[in-house]
Amino acid sequence: MVLEIRLLYLVGSWENKKMGAVKMKIKSSIFIILMIFISSFLSGCYGGESKKTVSENKPNKTEGKKTEQVLNLAEGGEIPTLDTLGLFDALSSRTMNNIFEGLYRLDEKSKPIPGMAEKYNVSKDGKVYTFHIRTNAKWSNGTPVTAKDFEFAWKRALHPDTLSPNSYLFNDIKNAAEIQDKESSLYGKVNELGIKAVDDHTFQVELKQPIPYFISLITYPLFFPQNKDFVESQGDKYALEVKNLIYNGPFVLDSWEHEAGWVYKKNPDYWDADTVKLEQINVKVVKEIATKVNLYEAGQIDLTEISSEYVNQFKNSPDYNTLLKPEIFFIRMNQKNKYLANVNIRKAIDMGWDKKAAAESLLNNGSIPAYYLVPKDFSFDADGKDFRSKYSGFNQDGIEKAKEYWEKGLKELGIKGMELEFLSYDSEDRKKVSEYIKNQLEKNLPGMKIKINQQPNKQKLELESNQRYDLTYSGWSPDFQDPITFIDLYLSNGPNNWSSYKNKEFDRLVMAAKNNPSNLKVRWENLQEAERILIEEDAAISPMYQSGLVQLTKPYVKGYFFHPFSISYKWTSIEGK
């Protein structure tokens, strides 16, 4: 065997020598071809295009010159869609708010101010709004923005073929609900919608009933215009890439590299271009907070949100700031469960844990403990008074009181204890909070046993909406800037009630606020009373916290405004960099 191998080896080596030269040539030429192929492939893959924008904006190299009006940002992901009628999220709506504009837009204090419309008139009964669209409103391809663009987009949003997932927000407009209702004789007849392009610059909207928040409502991207000719010319490709879009907002998208980032440029054709100071905004997709912090420290981004583990590190930095989001997290209690149908048990659960510790020590991300459903700093009456100013919160009596309710409840039910399932999210922060609540309740309410059930969001929603839970960690963010968007959740027949909560007085107050909103003061009081009944009397939910946001902002970034659903760059500028 060994001998054979040796012989083979000898023969082989002799042959090899003969073939060597030929082989070497073939091999080396293949190698060269491969190298050329690989290097050309590589140079294509590093994203050569974006190099330009970077070299233009190296933050350190431009010092000394006039301050460049360039803002560098990082976002946590790819924009899901830029079709205002699509299935969008906060990031989509933030982008849309800066590249498009509706009839009105939100100012620095999140109050509606004129956008594409110069002004509006309302009929005496508060049902008919007439908007006067600016004559200098233009799309970025030069065509004027007209009333027809609004008519086209709004009808398209309700048409069965192009129905927007957010179309329910149109329901206050005459016939809008019927057009979406398969049972109705008006189903799909979008021409019956209560809107009319009287002429190019006059757009009329007829509401089903007067609503006080209509102007604020239409600042939402769903109500933005779309140009019929352009949209139809793009077909399926509309809004997929920069070249498949036209803009009418303060900025246009200059590039959009999926998953990597996008660049805004000032829109010179915007009617109010003089107000817009920023020339360019570079946005990069950065998914890791740690990376964002590193980039912020390296001076490559001007602003970043941070997570709780960085709070202590930056708490004393002048760049550190927090703000409240209009988003409430609360425990839903399923009254199909015979124990939870008892109001004293529910009250005990609501008061039986330390909300302050959970929000401030555990989350430590700018969130504040909530003893209410309608968020703070979110909705204001005609005099600018916060909805929360009447009742700052409910059920704040503390754990001793909770124990009393617990004993009372147990006696009424004739039991010594109970085991409940607590459905929760599978994210890290929320895991901690649910475990804390479990420990608190088990400690403070003797005989209570909690089993945590963590599920991915989609599955959790499925279980919640089918009421297959006892307690659930739940959240809600508003659809528009009015308390009703939170409170009508708990109407007996509300589609998101999900807990079999029923209270006739609550229903009466909410419906009164919905159906007869003409007296704004009474409406406001009705809603405040309804919320009191929901939480203080019935303890239908146990509010947990109102979410906050902690961020670092470079001191030279001015005029960066947050709104309940978006952010405005329109007034942002770089000063003294």
Partner 1 sequence: MMATELVSISNAESFNVRGVENLAKYIFSRLGYMLVTFLVIATFTFFLMQTLPGSPFNDEKLSDSQKERLYEKYGLDKPLPLQYITYMGNIAKGDLGVSFQYDGRPVTNIIGERIGASAVLGAQSLLLGCVIGLFLGIIAAIKHNTSIDYIAMIISVIGLSVPNFVFAGILQYWVGVKLKWLPVAFWEGFEYSILPTISLSVFVIATIARYMRAEMLEVLGQDYIVTAKAKGLGSFSIVMKHSLRNAAIPIITILGPMTVTLLTGTLVIEKIFSVPGLGEQFVKSIMTNDFSVIMGTTLFYSILFIGIVLIVDLLYGFIDPRIRLSGRTK
Interface residues for partner 1 in 189-248 (CB under 8 A)? 236, 240
Is 28 among the residues that bind partner 1 (CB under 8 A)?
no
301 near 284, Cβ under 8 Å?
Answer: yes
What tokens does 144 get? 């004027």
Q: Which of residues 99 and 418 has its CB atom nearest to partner 1 in the complex? A: 99
Q: Which stretch binds partner 1 (CB under 8 A): 86-94, 127-135, 190-198, 533-541?
A: 86-94
Q: What are the tokens at 569? A: 């760059």
Give least dist CB 313 to partner 1, A: 13
How many binding residues for partner 1 (CB under 8 A)? 72
- Under a CB-based contact definition with an 8 Å cutoff, are residues 132 and 205 in contact? no
Q: Is the dihedral of CA 272, 157, 490, 509 positive or negative?
A: positive
Pick from 36, 135, 165, 309 the residue near partner 1 by CB under 8 A: 165
With a CB cutoff of 8 Å and minimum separation 6, the contacts of 242 are 253, 254, 255, 256
Residue 87 makes contact with partner 1 by CB under 8 A = yes
What minimum distance in Å lies between the beta carbon of 179 and partner 1? 12
The reply on whether position 50 binds partner 1 by CB under 8 A is: yes
Task: Identify the residue among 41, 317, 414, 504 touching partner 1 (CB under 8 A).
Answer: 41
In angstroms, the Cα distances linking 195 to 74, 161, 173, 331 are 39, 19, 8, 40
Q: Considering beta carbons, is residue 180 or 526 the nearer one to partner 1?
A: 180
Q: Contacts with partner 1 in 400-459 (CB under 8 A)?
A: 455-459
DSSP 8-state secondary structure symbol assigned to residue 517 = T
Place of tokens 């617990």: 406
**How much is the CA Rg of the chain, to the nearest whole Å?**
30
Q: Footprint of partner 1 on residues 282-321 (CB under 8 A)? A: 284-288, 290-291, 294-295, 297-298, 300
Restricted to residues 254-273, the positions that interact with partner 1 (CB under 8 A) are 257-261
| Residues in contact with partner 1, shown as a per-residue x/- string from 476 to 495 under the rule CB under 8 A | x--x---------------x
Q: State the minimum distance, in angstroms, from the CB of residue 297 to partner 1.
A: 5
Burial class (CB in 10 A: 0-12, 13-18, 19+), 249: buried
List the one residue from 47, 318, 446, 555 that touches partner 1 (CB under 8 A).
47
Min dist CB 508 to partner 1, Å, is: 24
Strand, helix or coil at 547? Answer: strand
CB 527 within 8 A of CB 501: no
From 32, 54, 113, 323, residue interacting with partner 1 (rule: CB under 8 A):
54
Helices (H), 298-383: 308-314, 343-351, 355-356
Choose which of 57, 62, 69, 80 interacts with partner 1 (CB under 8 A).
80
Residue 2: partners with Cβ closer than 8 Å, 6 or more residues away: none
Of the pair 43, 316, the CB lying nearest partner 1 is at 43
Q: Beta-strand (E) ranges in 238-381?
A: 251-257, 261-266, 280-285, 303-306, 320-333, 368-369
Q: Are 98 and 264 in contact (CB under 8 A)?
A: yes
Of the candidate residues 7, 12, 125, 417, the single one contacting partner 1 (CB under 8 A): 12
The residue from 62, 68, 78, 324 that contacts partner 1 (CB under 8 A) is: 78
Is residue 276 at the binding interface for partner 1, with CB under 8 A as the rule? Answer: no
When asked if residue 32 is in the footprint of partner 1 (CB under 8 A), the reply is no
Residues 498-527, interacting with partner 1 (CB under 8 A): none
